[in-house]
């Protein structure tokens, strides 16, 4: 989508910081490559920019802090001229001392709200686990701020917030890969469990069907290497409707820099892989898993970023893009190896995963049995209490009769 002019300036300033956490909050997302961008611009001017979640548990706090810091003219100017080293060394955080009083007061308020949110979260976890909690894990919930000073937002708070978010976002893709691996192992585990419950004839049919689906999924047109000349030319021809013989990298970049800020962000890059992904995945096909498609998209984006994003700010500038088109890798002709060609886990890892599932099930069953015993005990005590009440009523009744 197109960003408003002020947001574009903001995006460039944040990009120069090399902190994707600061650019993500602006939620500048690329449009699908086949969409009429004129209509999309008019739509955004009417509705305003969409919001996108960074995936961090303190996402709202992060956004609100940045929003108020950017309202301060001094900090905004320093942010615009900051570089990655300045940020990592805490130089940008020290500029908080020069932020206007009214904004500092608001930051104090935001921190107190965040502290209250974290306290409520800790209490809820404590209640659920009945005091049996991992205190080290709980302390990690507070790493993005100085919890020893719960009242005011200081330089240390900004420094912690920047470092925590930078580190967490750098690990975000790794966490996504780990989640996907768990998803795939669960899928295989459930498949094997189903087979165990079938008779020999049905099990054979199910296995044959499974192998047939695997072959169908693997039978697809050549998938070009992401970011290669062939891959970009295919987008140029099929999505943009242009002659591949007239392919020009600089023109291509400007056409697909959908917010016009001079950078490819991660979503703009991922939009370029749609044609390649459509060769392998179709939501109408039984053999194609759309969760796997998103993992494939992530792998493609990481591959391009590793080759092109030389300053590691998670953005691709025009100069980086042009430099990449002059490298030998740009003319890569080998087919991209898709997920089905790369085993995600070993049999040993699957066994460990299944053992973990079994342990968790045992823990749940044990807890369930304990709760059932507690319930039965409560019911027994309630029966005793009801019997005592009935006895007292009878005694009172007899006493009343005798007194007459």
Whether residue 177 is contained in a domain is answered as no
Residues 189-201: pLDDT tens digits?
999 999 999 999 9
Same domain for 342 and 237? yes
Whether residue 387 is contained in a domain is answered as no
- The pLDDT of residue 131 is 56
Whether residue 227 is contained in a domain is answered as yes
Residue 35 pLDDT more than 90? no
Whether residue 18 is contained in a domain is answered as no
With a CB cutoff of 8 Å and minimum separation 6, the contacts of 264 are 253, 256, 257, 315, 316, 321
Same domain for 100 and 232? no
Q: Could you give the percent of the chain with pLDDT greater than 90? A: 56
Same domain for 234 and 316? yes
> Are 271 and 30 a contacting pair, CB within 8 Å?
yes
Q: Which residue has the higher pLDDT, 34 or 351?
A: 351
Same domain for 231 and 118? no
Same domain for 255 and 133? no
Same domain for 325 and 251? yes
Same domain for 214 and 120? no
Report, as an integer, the average pLDDT of 297-315. Answer: 92
Whether residue 48 is contained in a domain is answered as no
Least confident piece of the model among 31-40, 180-189, 298-307, 391-400: 31-40
Q: Could you give the percent of the chain with pLDDT greater than 70? A: 82
SS3 264: strand
- The pLDDT of residue 166 is 78
Number of other CB atoms surrounding residue 295 within 10 Å: 20
Alpha helices in 197-334 (DSSP H): 200-218, 229-234, 249-256, 266-271, 274-280, 290-308, 318-324
- Domain range for 95 is 58-164
Same domain for 222 and 129? no
Mean pLDDT of the chain: 83
Whether residue 174 is contained in a domain is answered as no
Q: Which of 326, 347, 368 is the last residue of a domain?
A: 347
Q: Which of 164, 185, 208 is the last residue of a domain?
A: 164
Whether residue 51 is contained in a domain is answered as no
**Closest of 65, 107, 89, 71 to residue 159, by C-alpha:** 89
- The pLDDT of residue 327 is 94
Residue whose token pair is 């059932």: 372
Residues 36-53: pLDDT tens digits?
434 444 444 333 333 445
Q: What is the DSSP letter of 83?
A: -
Same domain for 214 and 111? no
Report, as an integer, the average pLDDT of 284-310. Answer: 95
Q: Whole-model pTM?
A: 0.68
Whether residue 110 is contained in a domain is answered as yes
Domain count, the chain: 2
Q: Which of 116, 144, 164 is the last residue of a domain?
A: 164
Residues 71-128: pLDDT tens digits?
999 998 888 777 766 776 777 888 899 999 999 999 999 999 999 988 888 777 776 6
Same domain for 229 and 118? no
Residue environment code for 115-150, b if the CB has 16+ CB neighbours within 10 A, otherwise e: beebeeebeeeeeeeeeeeeeeeeeebbebbbbeee
Report, as an integer, the average pLDDT of 340-365. Answer: 93
Dmax (CA) for the chain in angstroms is 115
How far is Cα 201 from Cα 70, in angstroms, rounded to an integer? 67
Same domain for 244 and 111? no
Same domain for 148 and 256? no
Q: What is the CATH number of the domain that holds 299?
A: 1.10.238.10
């Amino acid at each position: 989508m197109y960003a408003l002019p002020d947001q574009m300036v903001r995006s460039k300033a944040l990009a120069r910081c090399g902190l994707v956490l600061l650019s993500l909050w602006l939620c500048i997302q690329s449009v699908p490559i086949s969409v009429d961008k004129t209509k999309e611009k008019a739509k955004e001017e009417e509705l305003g920019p969409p919001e996108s979640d960074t995936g961090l548990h303190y996402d709202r706090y992060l956004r609100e802090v940045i929003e108020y810091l950017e309202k301060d003219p001094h900090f905004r100017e320093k942010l615009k001229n900051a570089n990655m080293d300045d940020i990592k060394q805490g130089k940008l955080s020290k500029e908080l001392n020069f932020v206007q009083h009214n904004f500092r007061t608001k930051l104090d308020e935001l921190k107190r709200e965040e502290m209250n949110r974290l306290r409520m979260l800790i209490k809820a976890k404590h209640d659920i686990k009945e005091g049996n909690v991992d205190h080290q894990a709980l302390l990690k919930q507070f790493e993005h701020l100085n919890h020893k000073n719960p009242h005011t937002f200081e330089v240390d708070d900004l420094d912690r917030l920047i470092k925590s978010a930078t580190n967490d976002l750098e690990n975000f893709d790794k966490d996504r890969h780990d989640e996907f691996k768990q998803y795939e192992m669960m899928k295989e585990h459930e498949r094997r469990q189903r087979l165990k419950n079938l008779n020999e004839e049905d099990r054979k049919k199910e296995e044959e069907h499974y192998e047939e689906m695997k072959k169908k999924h693997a039978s697809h047109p050549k998938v070009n290497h992401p970011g290669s000349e062939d891959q970009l030319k295919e987008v140029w021809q099929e999505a943009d409707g242009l002659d591949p013989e007239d392919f020009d990298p600089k023109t291509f970049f400007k056409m697909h820099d959908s917010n016009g800020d001079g950078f490819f962000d991660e979503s703009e890059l991922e939009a370029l892989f749609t044609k390649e992904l459509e060769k392998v995945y179709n939501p109408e096909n039984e053999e194609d898993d759309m969760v796997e498609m998103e993992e494939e998209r992530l792998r493609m984006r990481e591959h391009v970023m590793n080759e092109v994003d030389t300053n590691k700010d998670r953005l691709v500038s025009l100069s980086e893009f042009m430099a990449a088109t002059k490298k030998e890798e740009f003319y890569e002709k080998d087919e991209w190896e898709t997920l089905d060609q790369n085993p995600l886990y070993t049999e040993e890892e699957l066994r460990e995963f299944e053992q973990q599932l079994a342990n968790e099930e045992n823990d749940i069953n044990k807890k369930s049995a304990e709760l059932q015993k507690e319930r039965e005990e409560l019911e027994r005590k309630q029966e005793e209490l009801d019997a005592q009440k009935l006895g007292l009523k009878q005694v009172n009744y007899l006493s009343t009769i005798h007194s007459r």
